[in-house]
Structure 1
Amino acid sequence: MSSHRSRNMALLAAFLGWMFDGFEMGLFPLIGKPALKDLLAGAHTAAELNNLVDNWFTVIIATFLVGAATGGVFFGWLGDRIGRVKAMTFSIFTYAIFTGLCGFATEAWQIALLRFVASLGMGGEWALGVALVNELWTKGSRAWVAGAIGAAANVGYLLVALLSLGMSAFIGTITGWATSLGASQQLNDYLFAHGAWRFLMISGAFPAILIFIIRIFVPESDKWEEEKKSGSTSHWSTADLNGVLLGAAVAMFMIYAWSPMGFKPALATIITVVGFGVVIWGFLLPVRRYLHRSATAGHMTHETRLTIRKNLLIGATLAGIALLGTWGAAQHAPKWSDSLNLHGMEPVNVRAYTQLATAFGACVLALLTPVVADLLNRRITYLLCCIFAMASSITFFRTNTEINTWFFISAFLMGGLTASFYGFFPLYLPELFPTAVRATGQGFCFNVGRIIAAVGGLQLANLIGWFGTPVNAYTILCSVYIVGMILVWFAPETKGKKLA
């Protein structure tokens, strides 16, 4: 296979993997509540059931974020140890198969557990795909490639919004096909009742087909192969993953502390501060020990070790700011939209059209942002991302009281400008790390911010209580971008530098 075709196949695999990842991330908000109402139905009043569903929904979203953070570190470690392509097939298999298994759940806790395992693969796929594509593509093409990967997940969100708009017709068509193929009424009721959540979850196993395409057509990274020949990949140790396991367990306890079943805010705050330090220590253990072994063996200088450690913390904070802004405010736009004056529109359609607007904006801006970063530089681009993301979010939440043309224009702008970071990071994060630790470093940086986002998202009810309205709460959460405007000046400028 020619090198040009190999690069294209790697990009296609990474794009489809991240697109299906985005589709499955967006799928649960669409079908999660019908699924939980089905599973939790019993001796409850309507108010009790709604409260129970909301509690479980919040906890499942939070566990998903923790799982994605853990998976980013674990599969990044695996990619640096056994190769990008092999690890990527395992990550896609994990998120596809365990999403599919959710369709057979009989209890709410089973959904939470299966979504946690599926999210391990979702968190890992990004780091592996980005590392592989950046190492195969030439420097001159990397900006557009980064934009394509950044847009991929938002294409998945776009597909979910379109599915939501055509859900009734979709269910009717699929049910008709099933009946014509001889499916019993009992099977149809099992698969297609309650918004067809079981069928849609089972369909989430479809991306597993990508595994065969990847193994047959996608080549391994030449840069990683060189690292393997040099012997540097042998410095990774399975025993170091105990730190990742500890970090995941502590992160889950932090989520529990803020859940409705948890502790009072004062105690939960202490647990979060101490716990987050333990999470960082645990997630960084594999790469810290790798750096020590590599330096001892003469494969890495002391200065390189210090630079990598610094970049791990800076990269994670920059990504965490973007993720908290996204999950804390922008992702709430569809849900918040049905609280406005709808002018007779169906709430479900308003939510879908809102997600269409935000996802379309995200596709456009994620594609263009890395090109801007190549024209300007990395620091200025990140600074502009923070300024425009904060301005567009505050404008969206503070200027809309009804569903009209301006609402969808501002939703498009907010969706695009808050997602601009996800075109920026596939370009910037690979530049912070050498090939030997690139997948692990990216996985840590991009995904550890999800834990910040998970804890931050659970504060929304508290923020509403403190500041009076959801709009005020979203405004406060959006102010996190100010931290990014300051921190980016301490981050390395990597424009024009080749991947190490």
Structure 2
Amino acid sequence: MALLAAFLGWMFDGFEMGLFPLIGPDALKDLLVNTVAPEDMAKTVSSWFTVIIATFLVGAATGGVFFGWLGDRIGRVRAMTFSIFTYAIFTGLCGFATEAWQIALLRFVASLGMGGEWALGVALVNELWTKGSRAWVAGAIGAAANIGYLLVALLSLGMSAFIGTITGWSTALGASDDLNKYLFDHGAWRFLMISGAFPAILIFLIRIFVPESDKWEEEKKAGSTSFWSTPDLLGVLFGATVALFMIYAWSPMGFDATWATIVTITGFGMVIWGFLLPVRRYLHRAASAGTMTHDTRITIRKNLLIGATLAGIALLGTWGAAQHAPKWSGSLNLHGTSPVEVKAYTQLATAFGACVITLLTPVLADILNRRLTYLLCCILAMASSITFFQTNTEIGTWFFISAFLMGGLTASFYGFFPLYLPELFPTAVRATGQGFCFNVGRIIAAVGGLQFANLEKGFGGAVNAYTILCSVYIVGMVLVWFAPETKGKKLV
């Protein structure tokens, strides 16, 4: 039941992450139509879209830390219900927005829950799953979000028929023409956003059927959970505020490149300081009480930084390049095919590849070891990404084969991390540690993604810009040898 809850929670998380890129442009055009001149619409929509995506990434990073903290303090199951409630309800509220800034704000709050759900689900399942292979469990969780992306692609292909069917049902139930127009015009973005509240039903199933982690219960009985302190969350709030200011610095409303770079370099240090404040103070209190050794405290701090960097490299490669594949496909020679269909089929190919390879990656990590597996992931992810962007000029068989490989190999990390990150931390700080490591990389990805226009201009086009971003995997190939090898070690 814990695995099912984590799988469904992360699958709906992936669906809602993939939903906004599908309906966001229609939503923004609808909201901006009365305030923006037609000749400025495309540029304004693009600017708002980029800012909302970046804001989402910052929110997910903040939520990973906050809900991880909550899971270590009050329990995995209770915190998971709060995280799912947050992303479901606030996604649904987006359907009632009347201004573009309201979408940005509501998506930010929703993304808090999206970032937290992963850390909590992974911690819960790893601590409960004591029989059988944890590798297959990690692979299932890694595949879940990509199944959500797959569902979004299928929805995109059948959007017209879907809207027509739903509108017919609404009319048959007595809905007025004004209500149908409100819900189903402009790509039915309001209806789809409101439907995003559906995963809230999971909360009741989780509370009834999913048991709490016995390892966490042991920590609670030992008194370890009492070392967490609510005032420490001010550090997380500070870090999130600085991160949003970094996004603003690179936005069209922000500063020139020199000042934005200065803000980013100094700001990122502040973000790390703020996000780490709760766990640093926890470690200090636990050490002072004599329940944690000095060596354990040093090891946890080291693993927090190494884990975050390893995850940040993977996230920057994914969000900076691989996730752009559907959008980029529309710029190629389509041979008369609809751009909408090409984008949907591209996402189908990348998401299907991700579902397959995320299942297999943790199994490979059990056969080899953690370091070598991460190294292979970096090599293959970089090779497949560069091959995809450099060898495709038209839509054809090779395009979809290379999209499948790139989608799968760049997503391989998301099968690897549910296996590896829990092994870096003891139960007392596992959810917080995982939440920090997996999600703080989203801030790197957010700032990196905002550099795309500069890279495109500086390196002569989108293809070369994507290639430069994909080269970030080289850093991971070196850094992984400084990470601990955890194969064969039991969770503590």
TM-score, structure 2 normalization = 1.00
Instruction: Give 2:23's aligned residue.
Output: 31
CA contact (8 A) 1:139 1:498 kept: no
Aligned: 1:426 with 2:418:
yes
Which residue is equivalent to 1:363?
355
2:136 equivalent to 1:158? no
Q: Which residue of 1 aligns with 2:401?
A: 409
Which has the larger displacement, 40-49 or 291-300?
Answer: 40-49
How far 1:236 sits from its partner (Å)? Answer: 0.1
Residue identity opposite 1:65 in structure 2: L
Name stretches of at least 5 consecutive residues in structure 2 with no aligned partner: none
Q: Shift in Å at residue 193 of structure 1?
A: 0.2
- 2:33 paired residue number: 41
User: What residue identity is the alignment partner of 2:254?
Assistant: G
Q: Report the alpha carbon displacement of residue 298 of structure 1 after superposing the two structures with TM.
A: 1.0
Partner of 2:180: 188
What letter corresponds to residue 355 of structure 1 in structure 2?
Answer: Q
Which amino acid in 2 is paired with 1:285?
A: L
State the AA in 2 paired with 1:30.
L
> Matches of 1:397 and 1:47 in 2, distance apart?
31
Q: Which amino acid aligns with 2:401?
A: I
Partner of 1:440: 432
Give per-residue Cα distances to partners, 1:394-436, cap 9 Å, x unaligned.
0000000000000000000000000000000000000000000
5 Å-filtered alignment, 1:125-274, equals 125-138=117-130, 140-274=132-266
1:46-90 CA distances to partner (integer Å, 9 max, x unpaired)? 330111110000000000000000000000000000000000000
Aligned CA distance change for structure 1 residues 469 and 293 (closer, same or farther; 3 Å): same
The code of the aligned residue for 1:37 comes to K
> Which of 440, 457, 466 does residue 465 from structure 1 map onto?
457
Q: Secondary structure at the match of 1:93?
A: helix
Would you say the 8 A contact 1:259–1:458 is kept in 2?
yes
User: Over residues 122-156 of structure 1, what are the superposed CA-to-partner deviations in whole Å (9 max), with x where a residue is unaligned?
Assistant: 00000000000000002642000000000000000
Q: Is 1:308–2:300 an aligned residue pair?
A: yes
Among 278, 285, 292, the residue aligned to 1:293: 285
1:91 aligned partner: 83
Provide the C-alpha distance between the structure 2 equivalents of 1:141 and 1:284, rounded to a whole number of angstroms. 32
Write the distance in 2 (CA, Å) between the matches of 1:252 and 1:43: 25
**Distance (Å, rounded) in 1 between the aligned partners of 2:216 and 2:441:** 26
In the aligned structure 2, how far is the partner of 1:294 from the partner of 1:455?
Answer: 35
State how far apart, in whole Å, the 1-side matches of 2:348 and 2:398 are.
15
Aligned residues: 492
Q: For residue 20 of structure 2, give the secondary structure of its aligned residue in structure 1.
A: helix
> What is the distance in 1 between the residues matched to 2:480 and 2:171?
58
Q: 1:140 to 1:495 in 2, by over 3 A?
A: farther
Counterparts of 1:331-346 in structure 2, within 5 Å, are 331-346=323-338
CA contact (8 A) 1:315 1:445 kept: yes
The whole-number CA distance in structure 2 between the counterparts of 1:256 and 1:494 is 39
Distance 1:497 1:445 in 2: 20
Q: Equivalents in 2 of 1:299, 1:130: separation in Å?
A: 25
2:113 to 114, 121, 133: 121
Which whole-Å deviations, capped at 9, do the CAs of 1:266-305 have from their partners, x for residues lacking one? 1100100000000000000000000000011111000000
What's the secondary structure of 1:263's corresponding residue? coil
Shift of 1:43: 5.1
1:498 alignment partner in structure 2: 490
Rounded to whole Å, the distance in 2 between the matches of 1:399 and 1:49 is 33
State how far apart, in whole Å, the 2-side matches of 1:140 and 1:45 are: 60
- Indicate which of 360, 363, 372 corresponds to 2:364: 372
Deviations 1:444-486 (A, max 9, x none): 0000000000000000000001001000000000000000000
Match of 1:317 among 297, 309, 319: 309
Task: Within 5 Å, give how 1:73-88 maps onto structure 2.
Answer: 73-88=65-80
The answer to whether the Cα contact below 8 Å between 1:361 and 1:416 also exists between their aligned partners in 2 is yes
Give 1:45 shift.
3.4
Structure 2 letter corresponding to 1:337: S
SS of residue matched to 1:401: coil
Query: Equivalents in 1 of 2:289, 2:36: separation in Å?
Result: 63
Please, which runs of 5 or more residues in structure 1 have no aligned partner? 1-8
Structure 2: distance between partners of 1:123 and 1:358: 22
Distance 2:327 2:265 in 1: 30
Cα distance, 1:43–1:495 mapped onto 2, change above 3 Å: closer
Structure 1 distance, partners of 2:22, 2:402, is 22
- Per the normalisation by structure 1, the TM-score is 0.98
How far the C-alpha of 1:492 sits from its partner, in A, is: 0.1
Sort the Cα spacing of 1:43 and 1:431 in 2 relative to 1 into closer, same or farther, 3 A: closer
1:111 aligns with 2:94: no
Q: Give the share of equivalent positions with the same residue, in percent.
A: 87
Q: 1:346 is matched by which residue type in structure 2?
A: S
1:347 pairs with one of 339, 360, 365: 339
Given residue 135 of structure 1, which amino acid in structure 2 is its aligned partner? Answer: E
Q: Take 1:359 and 1:138, find their aligned partners in 2: how far apart are those partners?
A: 30
1:148 partner SS: helix
Specify the code of the residue in structure 2 equivalent to 1:463: L
> Equivalent residue for 1:4?
none
Alpha-carbon distance between aligned partners in 2 of 1:23 and 1:133, rounded to the nearest angstrom: 21
